[in-house]
Structure 1
Amino acid sequence: MKFGYVRVSAKDQNTERQLKKMHELKIEDRYIFVDKQSGKDFDRPRYQALRLMIREGDLVYLDALDRLGRDYDGIIREWKYITRDLNADIVVLENETLFDSRKFKTMGDLGKLMEDQFLSLLSYVAEQERKKTKQRQAEGIVVALEKGVKFGRPKHEASEGFKGVYDEWKAGGVTAVAAMKKLDMKPNTFYRRVKEHEGTILHQ
Protein backbone atom coordinates (compact mmCIF):
# COMPACT_ATOMS: atom_id res chain seq x y z
CA MET A 1 0.00 0.00 0.00
CA LYS A 2 1.19 3.55 -0.75
CA PHE A 3 1.11 6.27 1.90
CA GLY A 4 2.02 9.94 1.77
CA TYR A 5 3.24 12.03 4.69
CA VAL A 6 3.00 15.82 4.50
CA ARG A 7 4.21 18.26 7.12
CA VAL A 8 4.47 22.03 7.48
CA SER A 9 5.70 23.78 10.61
CA ALA A 10 2.72 26.05 11.29
CA LYS A 11 -1.06 26.02 10.85
CA ASP A 12 -1.01 28.97 8.45
CA GLN A 13 1.51 27.38 6.08
CA ASN A 14 0.32 25.90 2.79
CA THR A 15 0.42 22.15 2.16
CA GLU A 16 -0.75 22.34 -1.48
CA ARG A 17 2.65 21.82 -3.11
CA GLN A 18 3.31 18.64 -1.12
CA LEU A 19 -0.26 17.38 -1.58
CA LYS A 20 -0.02 17.89 -5.34
CA LYS A 21 2.99 15.57 -5.45
CA MET A 22 1.13 12.91 -3.47
CA HIS A 23 -1.89 13.13 -5.77
CA GLU A 24 0.37 12.82 -8.83
CA LEU A 25 1.57 9.51 -7.33
CA LYS A 26 -2.10 8.38 -7.24
CA ILE A 27 -2.15 8.16 -3.45
CA GLU A 28 -5.72 8.27 -2.12
CA ASP A 29 -6.57 11.16 0.22
CA ARG A 30 -7.38 8.78 3.06
CA TYR A 31 -3.80 7.50 2.91
CA ILE A 32 -2.20 10.95 2.95
CA PHE A 33 -1.35 12.05 6.49
CA VAL A 34 -0.91 15.78 7.13
CA ASP A 35 0.58 17.48 10.20
CA LYS A 36 0.86 21.22 10.73
CA GLN A 37 3.40 21.08 13.48
CA SER A 38 7.10 21.58 14.18
CA GLY A 39 9.47 18.78 13.24
CA LYS A 40 11.44 19.07 16.48
CA ASP A 41 10.00 15.76 17.71
CA PHE A 42 7.71 12.97 16.49
CA ASP A 43 4.80 13.49 18.87
CA ARG A 44 2.52 14.50 15.98
CA PRO A 45 -1.00 13.02 15.77
CA ARG A 46 -1.11 12.25 12.06
CA TYR A 47 2.43 10.90 11.94
CA GLN A 48 1.65 8.59 14.85
CA ALA A 49 -1.52 7.44 13.06
CA LEU A 50 0.52 6.69 9.93
CA ARG A 51 3.10 4.82 11.99
CA LEU A 52 0.38 2.52 13.33
CA MET A 53 -0.92 1.73 9.83
CA ILE A 54 2.35 0.83 8.13
CA ARG A 55 2.83 -2.87 7.42
CA GLU A 56 5.53 -4.93 5.74
CA GLY A 57 5.79 -4.15 2.04
CA ASP A 58 4.12 -0.73 2.29
CA LEU A 59 5.67 2.36 0.73
CA VAL A 60 5.80 5.81 2.36
CA TYR A 61 6.44 8.92 0.26
CA LEU A 62 7.92 12.14 1.68
CA ASP A 63 8.48 15.38 -0.22
CA ALA A 64 11.81 15.95 1.57
CA LEU A 65 13.65 14.31 4.44
CA ASP A 66 13.03 17.27 6.76
CA ARG A 67 9.26 16.72 6.34
CA LEU A 68 9.81 13.54 8.37
CA GLY A 69 11.44 15.61 11.10
CA ARG A 70 14.27 17.92 12.03
CA ASP A 71 15.78 16.02 14.94
CA TYR A 72 19.00 14.21 13.97
CA ASP A 73 18.61 11.13 16.18
CA GLY A 74 14.85 10.98 15.66
CA ILE A 75 15.04 10.95 11.84
CA ILE A 76 17.51 8.07 11.85
CA ARG A 77 15.49 6.15 14.46
CA GLU A 78 12.18 6.52 12.61
CA TRP A 79 13.70 5.72 9.21
CA LYS A 80 15.25 2.51 10.53
CA TYR A 81 12.06 1.56 12.38
CA ILE A 82 9.99 1.82 9.18
CA THR A 83 12.48 0.30 6.75
CA ARG A 84 14.13 -2.34 8.93
CA ASP A 85 11.84 -3.20 11.83
CA LEU A 86 8.60 -3.01 9.84
CA ASN A 87 10.27 -3.94 6.54
CA ALA A 88 8.37 -1.20 4.69
CA ASP A 89 10.02 1.39 2.42
CA ILE A 90 10.47 5.15 2.22
CA VAL A 91 10.99 7.29 -0.87
CA VAL A 92 12.09 10.94 -0.49
CA LEU A 93 10.91 12.69 -3.65
CA GLU A 94 13.36 15.58 -3.39
CA ASN A 95 16.35 13.18 -3.38
CA GLU A 96 14.78 10.13 -4.97
CA THR A 97 18.05 9.00 -6.54
CA LEU A 98 19.69 8.82 -3.12
CA PHE A 99 16.74 8.19 -0.85
CA ASP A 100 14.74 5.21 -1.96
CA SER A 101 15.16 2.53 0.69
CA ARG A 102 14.25 -0.18 -1.87
CA LYS A 103 17.52 0.52 -3.72
CA PHE A 104 19.61 0.18 -0.56
CA LYS A 105 17.97 -3.14 0.29
CA THR A 106 19.04 -4.67 -3.02
CA MET A 107 22.67 -3.91 -2.13
CA GLY A 108 22.77 -5.97 1.07
CA ASP A 109 25.22 -4.93 3.81
CA LEU A 110 26.89 -2.34 1.57
CA GLY A 111 23.50 -0.75 1.01
CA LYS A 112 22.91 -0.50 4.75
CA LEU A 113 26.28 1.17 5.20
CA MET A 114 25.61 3.69 2.42
CA GLU A 115 22.09 4.36 3.69
CA ASP A 116 23.40 5.06 7.20
CA GLN A 117 26.00 7.49 5.84
CA PHE A 118 23.50 9.43 3.72
CA LEU A 119 20.97 9.51 6.56
CA SER A 120 23.52 10.79 9.05
CA LEU A 121 24.58 13.59 6.72
CA LEU A 122 21.12 14.80 5.70
CA SER A 123 19.63 14.40 9.19
CA TYR A 124 22.42 16.57 10.54
CA VAL A 125 21.67 19.20 7.89
CA ALA A 126 17.94 19.11 8.73
CA GLU A 127 18.62 19.61 12.44
CA GLN A 128 21.05 22.47 11.80
CA GLU A 129 18.44 24.18 9.63
CA ARG A 130 15.91 23.97 12.48
CA LYS A 131 18.42 25.53 14.88
CA LYS A 132 19.19 28.32 12.41
CA THR A 133 15.48 29.02 11.96
CA LYS A 134 14.98 29.31 15.72
CA GLN A 135 18.00 31.59 15.99
CA ARG A 136 16.73 33.82 13.17
CA GLN A 137 13.31 34.03 14.84
CA ALA A 138 14.88 35.01 18.18
CA GLU A 139 17.09 37.61 16.49
CA GLY A 140 14.06 38.97 14.62
CA ILE A 141 12.12 39.42 17.86
CA VAL A 142 15.06 41.26 19.49
CA VAL A 143 15.36 43.62 16.50
CA ALA A 144 11.58 44.22 16.50
CA LEU A 145 11.59 45.01 20.23
CA GLU A 146 14.49 47.42 19.74
CA LYS A 147 12.44 49.18 17.06
CA GLY A 148 9.52 49.48 19.46
CA VAL A 149 7.29 46.80 17.95
CA LYS A 150 4.74 45.61 20.49
CA PHE A 151 3.69 41.95 20.64
CA GLY A 152 0.31 40.75 21.85
CA ARG A 153 -2.84 42.80 22.39
CA PRO A 154 -2.47 46.57 22.77
CA LYS A 155 -2.09 47.39 26.46
CA HIS A 156 -4.91 49.96 26.46
CA GLU A 157 -7.34 47.49 24.87
CA ALA A 158 -6.38 44.74 27.33
CA SER A 159 -6.64 47.16 30.29
CA GLU A 160 -10.06 48.42 29.24
CA GLY A 161 -11.34 44.87 28.86
CA PHE A 162 -9.96 43.91 32.25
CA LYS A 163 -11.36 47.03 33.95
CA GLY A 164 -14.90 46.27 32.81
CA VAL A 165 -14.82 42.70 34.11
CA TYR A 166 -13.01 43.80 37.29
CA ASP A 167 -15.73 46.37 38.07
CA GLU A 168 -18.43 43.76 37.44
CA TRP A 169 -16.65 41.28 39.73
CA LYS A 170 -16.10 43.85 42.48
CA ALA A 171 -19.78 44.81 42.34
CA GLY A 172 -20.73 41.16 42.87
CA GLY A 173 -22.15 40.76 39.39
CA VAL A 174 -19.97 37.77 38.56
CA THR A 175 -17.89 35.28 40.51
CA ALA A 176 -14.09 35.27 40.28
CA VAL A 177 -14.27 32.03 38.26
CA ALA A 178 -16.69 33.61 35.78
CA ALA A 179 -14.48 36.72 35.54
CA MET A 180 -11.44 34.56 34.77
CA LYS A 181 -13.40 32.71 32.10
CA LYS A 182 -14.50 35.98 30.48
CA LEU A 183 -10.92 37.20 30.38
CA ASP A 184 -9.47 33.81 29.48
CA MET A 185 -7.05 34.08 32.40
CA LYS A 186 -5.63 31.59 34.84
CA PRO A 187 -6.11 32.33 38.58
CA ASN A 188 -2.54 33.48 39.17
CA THR A 189 -2.69 35.84 36.16
CA PHE A 190 -6.11 37.17 37.18
CA TYR A 191 -5.12 37.95 40.76
CA ARG A 192 -1.81 39.48 39.63
CA ARG A 193 -3.75 41.80 37.32
CA VAL A 194 -6.18 42.62 40.15
CA LYS A 195 -3.25 43.59 42.37
CA GLU A 196 -1.70 45.72 39.61
CA HIS A 197 -5.04 47.40 38.85
CA GLU A 198 -5.81 48.16 42.48
CA GLY A 199 -2.29 49.50 42.95
CA THR A 200 -2.87 51.86 40.03
CA ILE A 201 -6.18 53.07 41.55
CA LEU A 202 -4.50 53.81 44.89
CA HIS A 203 -1.87 55.97 43.21
CA GLN A 204 -4.31 57.99 41.12
Structure 2
Amino acid sequence: MKYAYIRVSTKDQNIDRQVEAMKEAGIDKSKMFIDKQSGKDFERKNYKKMLRKLKAGDEVYIKSIDRLGRNYDEIIEQWRILTKDKDVDVSVLDFPLLDTKNKINGLTGKFIADLVLQILSYVAQIERENIRQRQAEGIRIAKEKGVKFGRPVMDIPENFDSIYQLWENNLISLREAGRMLEISHTTFQRLAKRYNNKDVSR
Protein backbone atom coordinates (compact mmCIF):
# COMPACT_ATOMS: atom_id res chain seq x y z
CA MET A 1 0.00 0.00 0.00
CA LYS A 2 1.25 3.47 -0.90
CA TYR A 3 0.90 6.34 1.58
CA ALA A 4 2.02 9.96 1.52
CA TYR A 5 3.04 12.23 4.37
CA ILE A 6 2.47 15.94 3.79
CA ARG A 7 3.38 18.76 6.18
CA VAL A 8 3.30 22.55 6.25
CA SER A 9 4.36 24.62 9.25
CA THR A 10 1.17 26.66 9.71
CA LYS A 11 -2.54 26.37 8.93
CA ASP A 12 -2.23 29.28 6.47
CA GLN A 13 0.32 27.56 4.23
CA ASN A 14 -0.78 25.83 1.05
CA ILE A 15 -0.46 22.05 0.66
CA ASP A 16 -1.52 21.95 -3.03
CA ARG A 17 2.02 21.52 -4.43
CA GLN A 18 2.71 18.53 -2.19
CA VAL A 19 -0.71 16.99 -2.85
CA GLU A 20 -0.24 17.31 -6.62
CA ALA A 21 3.20 15.68 -6.42
CA MET A 22 1.72 12.75 -4.52
CA LYS A 23 -1.08 12.33 -7.05
CA GLU A 24 1.55 12.19 -9.80
CA ALA A 25 3.30 9.46 -7.79
CA GLY A 26 0.07 7.46 -7.96
CA ILE A 27 -1.14 8.00 -4.42
CA ASP A 28 -4.84 8.43 -3.73
CA LYS A 29 -5.94 11.47 -1.68
CA SER A 30 -7.46 9.13 0.91
CA LYS A 31 -3.97 7.70 1.58
CA MET A 32 -2.40 11.09 2.30
CA PHE A 33 -1.69 12.04 5.91
CA ILE A 34 -1.48 15.81 6.35
CA ASP A 35 -0.18 17.85 9.30
CA LYS A 36 -0.23 21.64 9.50
CA GLN A 37 2.30 21.91 12.27
CA SER A 38 5.92 22.84 12.99
CA GLY A 39 8.57 20.28 12.10
CA LYS A 40 10.53 20.79 15.31
CA ASP A 41 9.44 17.37 16.64
CA PHE A 42 7.23 14.41 15.74
CA GLU A 43 4.39 15.05 18.17
CA ARG A 44 1.96 15.36 15.25
CA LYS A 45 -1.49 13.83 15.15
CA ASN A 46 -1.61 12.60 11.56
CA TYR A 47 2.00 11.46 11.45
CA LYS A 48 1.29 9.22 14.44
CA LYS A 49 -1.92 8.06 12.78
CA MET A 50 0.06 7.06 9.69
CA LEU A 51 2.58 5.13 11.79
CA ARG A 52 -0.23 3.09 13.35
CA LYS A 53 -1.62 2.34 9.87
CA LEU A 54 1.64 1.12 8.30
CA LYS A 55 2.31 -2.56 7.67
CA ALA A 56 5.49 -4.31 6.48
CA GLY A 57 6.01 -3.82 2.75
CA ASP A 58 4.05 -0.54 2.55
CA GLU A 59 5.57 2.55 0.92
CA VAL A 60 5.70 6.09 2.35
CA TYR A 61 6.26 9.06 0.04
CA ILE A 62 7.48 12.51 1.15
CA LYS A 63 7.97 15.55 -1.11
CA SER A 64 11.23 16.66 0.56
CA ILE A 65 13.13 15.65 3.67
CA ASP A 66 12.27 18.89 5.50
CA ARG A 67 8.57 17.97 5.18
CA LEU A 68 9.36 15.03 7.45
CA GLY A 69 11.01 17.29 10.00
CA ARG A 70 13.72 19.86 10.73
CA ASN A 71 15.78 18.11 13.40
CA TYR A 72 18.06 15.60 11.66
CA ASP A 73 18.68 13.58 14.82
CA GLU A 74 14.95 13.01 15.14
CA ILE A 75 14.58 12.42 11.39
CA ILE A 76 17.17 9.64 11.57
CA GLU A 77 15.33 8.06 14.50
CA GLN A 78 12.00 8.18 12.64
CA TRP A 79 13.71 6.85 9.49
CA ARG A 80 14.91 3.88 11.57
CA ILE A 81 11.38 3.32 12.92
CA LEU A 82 9.91 3.42 9.42
CA THR A 83 12.49 1.31 7.60
CA LYS A 84 13.53 -1.09 10.37
CA ASP A 85 10.74 -1.37 12.95
CA LYS A 86 7.84 -0.92 10.52
CA ASP A 87 9.77 -2.47 7.60
CA VAL A 88 8.34 -0.04 5.05
CA ASP A 89 10.05 1.70 2.12
CA VAL A 90 10.49 5.47 2.11
CA SER A 91 10.79 7.67 -0.99
CA VAL A 92 11.72 11.37 -0.91
CA LEU A 93 10.53 12.72 -4.26
CA ASP A 94 12.86 15.73 -4.41
CA PHE A 95 15.91 13.63 -3.50
CA PRO A 96 15.98 10.33 -5.44
CA LEU A 97 18.93 8.99 -3.43
CA LEU A 98 16.63 8.91 -0.42
CA ASP A 99 14.59 6.06 -1.82
CA THR A 100 14.93 2.72 -0.05
CA LYS A 101 13.39 0.83 -3.01
CA ASN A 102 16.15 1.70 -5.48
CA LYS A 103 19.05 -0.62 -6.26
CA ILE A 104 22.23 1.11 -7.38
CA ASN A 105 25.16 -0.96 -8.70
CA GLY A 106 23.86 -3.98 -6.84
CA LEU A 107 23.62 -2.17 -3.49
CA THR A 108 20.22 -2.02 -1.82
CA GLY A 109 18.42 1.29 -1.72
CA LYS A 110 18.08 1.09 2.07
CA PHE A 111 21.86 1.09 2.52
CA ILE A 112 22.34 4.02 0.13
CA ALA A 113 19.47 6.00 1.69
CA ASP A 114 20.74 5.40 5.24
CA LEU A 115 24.22 6.56 4.21
CA VAL A 116 22.90 9.70 2.47
CA LEU A 117 20.74 10.55 5.49
CA GLN A 118 23.74 10.25 7.81
CA ILE A 119 25.73 12.58 5.55
CA LEU A 120 22.86 15.10 5.47
CA SER A 121 22.69 14.93 9.27
CA TYR A 122 26.43 15.60 9.53
CA VAL A 123 26.23 18.55 7.12
CA ALA A 124 23.24 20.00 9.00
CA GLN A 125 25.10 19.68 12.33
CA ILE A 126 28.20 21.40 10.92
CA GLU A 127 26.02 24.20 9.54
CA ARG A 128 24.32 24.67 12.94
CA GLU A 129 27.75 24.92 14.59
CA ASN A 130 28.94 27.39 11.94
CA ILE A 131 25.84 29.54 12.47
CA ARG A 132 26.44 29.60 16.23
CA GLN A 133 30.10 30.50 15.65
CA ARG A 134 29.16 33.31 13.23
CA GLN A 135 26.61 34.64 15.73
CA ALA A 136 29.17 34.59 18.55
CA GLU A 137 31.75 36.38 16.36
CA GLY A 138 29.14 38.94 15.30
CA ILE A 139 28.19 39.66 18.91
CA ARG A 140 31.86 39.97 19.94
CA ILE A 141 32.62 42.42 17.09
CA ALA A 142 29.49 44.43 17.86
CA LYS A 143 30.44 44.68 21.55
CA GLU A 144 33.93 45.85 20.58
CA LYS A 145 32.26 48.61 18.55
CA GLY A 146 30.18 49.62 21.56
CA VAL A 147 26.85 48.11 20.53
CA LYS A 148 24.71 47.47 23.60
CA PHE A 149 22.60 44.32 23.85
CA GLY A 150 19.48 43.79 25.89
CA ARG A 151 16.80 46.21 27.05
CA PRO A 152 17.81 49.89 26.88
CA VAL A 153 18.56 51.44 30.28
CA MET A 154 15.82 53.87 31.28
CA ASP A 155 16.92 57.42 32.04
CA ILE A 156 16.24 58.64 35.58
CA PRO A 157 13.54 61.38 35.42
CA GLU A 158 14.63 64.97 36.14
CA ASN A 159 12.48 65.28 39.27
CA PHE A 160 13.40 61.83 40.53
CA ASP A 161 15.65 63.14 43.32
CA SER A 162 12.90 65.06 45.11
CA ILE A 163 10.38 62.21 44.82
CA TYR A 164 13.02 59.74 45.94
CA GLN A 165 13.74 61.83 49.07
CA LEU A 166 10.02 61.91 49.94
CA TRP A 167 9.85 58.14 49.62
CA GLU A 168 13.16 57.59 51.42
CA ASN A 169 11.83 59.60 54.39
CA ASN A 170 8.58 57.56 54.42
CA LEU A 171 6.48 60.57 53.44
CA ILE A 172 4.99 58.78 50.40
CA SER A 173 4.51 55.14 49.49
CA LEU A 174 6.28 53.24 46.73
CA ARG A 175 3.11 53.28 44.62
CA GLU A 176 2.57 57.00 45.20
CA ALA A 177 6.15 57.71 44.14
CA GLY A 178 5.52 55.78 40.93
CA ARG A 179 2.28 57.66 40.25
CA MET A 180 3.97 61.03 40.78
CA LEU A 181 6.64 60.11 38.23
CA GLU A 182 4.08 58.48 35.90
CA ILE A 183 5.88 55.15 36.04
CA SER A 184 5.02 51.84 37.71
CA HIS A 185 6.03 51.29 41.32
CA THR A 186 8.31 48.42 40.22
CA THR A 187 10.08 50.73 37.77
CA PHE A 188 10.49 53.32 40.53
CA GLN A 189 11.98 50.67 42.80
CA ARG A 190 14.41 49.59 40.08
CA LEU A 191 15.46 53.20 39.47
CA ALA A 192 15.83 53.72 43.22
CA LYS A 193 18.25 50.82 43.41
CA ARG A 194 20.32 52.33 40.61
CA TYR A 195 20.12 55.79 42.18
CA ASN A 196 21.18 54.64 45.60
CA ASN A 197 23.26 51.66 44.39
CA LYS A 198 21.85 49.45 47.13
CA ASP A 199 18.70 47.45 47.88
CA VAL A 200 15.96 49.91 48.87
CA SER A 201 13.08 47.39 48.85
CA ARG A 202 10.36 48.28 51.35
Residue 103 of structure 1: aligned partner = 102
2:2 aligned with 1:5: no
The answer for the alignment partner of 1:32 in structure 2 is 32
Whole-angstrom CA distance in 1 between matches of 2:124 and 2:7 = 14
Counterpart for residue 72 of structure 2: 72
Aligned residues between the structures = 137
CA-CA distance at 1:123 after TM superposition: 3.5
- The structure with the larger Rg is 2
CA–CA distance in 1 between the matches of 2:4 and 2:83?
15
Matches within 5 A, 1:85-104: 85-96=85-96, 98-103=97-102
SS of residue matched to 2:98: coil
Whole-angstrom distance in 2 between the partners of 1:26 and 1:112: 22
Kindly state the Cα deviation for residue 69 of structure 1 after the two structures are TM-superposed: 0.8
Runs of 4+ in 1 over 6 A off after TM superposition: none
Q: Aligned partners of 2:103, 2:81: CA distance in 1, in Å?
A: 15
Give ranges in structure 2 of 5+ residues lacking alignment: 132-174, 183-202
For residues 126 and 69 of structure 1, the distance between their equivalents in structure 2, rounded to whole angstroms, comes to 13
Q: TM-score, normalised by structure 1?
A: 0.57
Q: Deviations over 1:61-104 (max 9, x none)?
A: 000011111111111111111112211100000012x1110126
**Cα distance in 1 for residues equivalent to 2:74 and 2:63:** 18
CA distance in 2, matches of 1:114, 1:22: 23
- 1:125 CA drift (Å): 5.1
Q: 1:27 to 1:113 in 2, by over 3 A?
A: closer
Match of 1:120 among 118, 121, 124: 118
Q: CA RMSD in A?
A: 3.1
Amino acid at match of 2:69: G
- Offset from partner CA, 1:151-187 (integer Å, 9 cap, x none): xxxxxxxxxxxxxxxxxxxxxxxxxxxxxxxxxxxxx
Q: Partners in 2 of 1:17 and 1:100 — Cα distance? A: 20
- Secondary structure (helix, strand or coil) at the match of 2:33 reads strand
Any conservation in 1 of the 2:3–2:27 contact (CA below 8 Å)?
A: yes
Equivalent pairs: percent with the same residue?
44
Which segments of 5 or more consecutive residues in structure 1 lack a partner in the other structure? 133-195
Question: Aligned pair in 2 of structure 1 residues 4, 72: CA closer, same or farther (>3 Å)?
Answer: same
Alignment of 1:45-64 (within 5 A): 45-64=45-64
Q: Secondary structure at the match of 2:101?
A: helix
Q: Which residue of 2 aligns with 1:137?
A: none
Q: SS of the residue aligned with 2:102?
A: helix
**Cα separation, 2, equivalents of 1:65 and 1:77:** 13
